[in-house]
Amino acid sequence: MITARKTNFGAPLHDFQYLEYLPADYGTGKRFPLVIFLHGAGERGDNVELTAVHGYLKHARKGTEYPFVVIAPQCPNDTYWGAYIESLNALLDYALAHYDVDPDRVILTGLSMGGTGTWLWSLANPQRFAAIVPVCGTGVTWFGGQLANTPVWACHGEADDCVDVTESIRMVQSIRRSGGKPRLSLYPGVGHNAWDNAYSDPEIVEWILAQHR
């Protein structure tokens, strides 16, 4: 079930519109993994339904069922996720307090601008996530050591002419130099749209479900 919600933090924090996805057996006393999904630049604005254009919510709308909760906030027009790290942390705090989710099984993922947001948020607060799945985003390579103890599965199209594939490669190399063991999926002949491959890959879903902080 997918439902539109909105936070009520108040200034100075930003109140997000967001879509929530709850598994079919939600509300039975179980605690589920929590997947936070950050959309790309094309889905910014004030129509929260755009957050389901790509990613796991897209597949859920078509009938795919997932054994995890998904929270997909919407970024305002003319800005980017890096401007909202404090508010995103507040959203995560809210989700942990109000949903039947396991705080040790929080997975962060996003595509394009959201892939960049995934790198930036996790670099700033690595202790908050059991794992991250950044898709065709850009990171901060000199700071990659922050994620040495965080499971990472990065995805990128080798023919990306919007965000060069070297952005993911260099982040993965930076983490490895610090002792981390990130995974990297490179899709031959795929341009910027690496997300169709990434979010339809059942192996990534199984990997997400296996992660614990």
List phi, psi (to 5°) of 69: -85, 140
Mean pLDDT of 53-61: 98
Q: Please say whether the beta carbons of 133 and 208 come within 8 A.
A: yes
Nearest-angstrom CA–CA distance, 185 and 4 = 32
Token pair of 5 as six digits: 């919600």
Sequential DSSP letters for 26-68: TTSS--EEEEEEE--GGG-SS-GGGGGSSHHHHHHHTT---SS
Q: How distant, in Å, are the alpha carbons of 82, 129, 140, 191 from that of 212?
A: 25, 9, 25, 32
pLDDT at 1: 85
- What's the one-letter identity of residue 28? T
Average pLDDT score over the chain:
97
Residue range 81-88: mean pLDDT, rounded: 98
Q: Which two tokens stand for residue 66?
A: 């997932």
Give the separation between CA 35 and CA 202, rounded to whole angstroms. 15
Predicted pLDDT at 64: 97
- pLDDT attached to residue 51: 98
**Taking 90 as the threshold, does the pLDDT of residue 126 lie above it?**
yes
Of 174, 172, 128, the C-alpha closest to 36 is 128
Q: Where are the domains of the chain?
A: 2-210
User: In which band, very low, low, confident or very high, does the pLDDT at 179 lie, cut at 50, 70 and 90?
Assistant: very high
Has residue 163 got a pLDDT over 90? yes
Residue tagged 């630049």 (tokens): 41
Report domain 2-210's class. alpha beta
What six digits make up the tokens of 121?
């948020």
In this predicted structure, the answer to whether residue 50 has a pLDDT above a threshold of 90 is yes
The percentage of the chain sitting over the pLDDT mark of 90, rounded to a whole number, equals: 100
- Mean pLDDT for the stretch of residues 151-178: 98
The 8 Å CB, 24+ separation contacts for 15-18 are: 15/87, 16/73, 16/74, 16/87, 16/91, 17/46, 17/48, 17/73, 17/74, 18/48, 18/51, 18/71, 18/72, 18/73, 18/74, 18/91
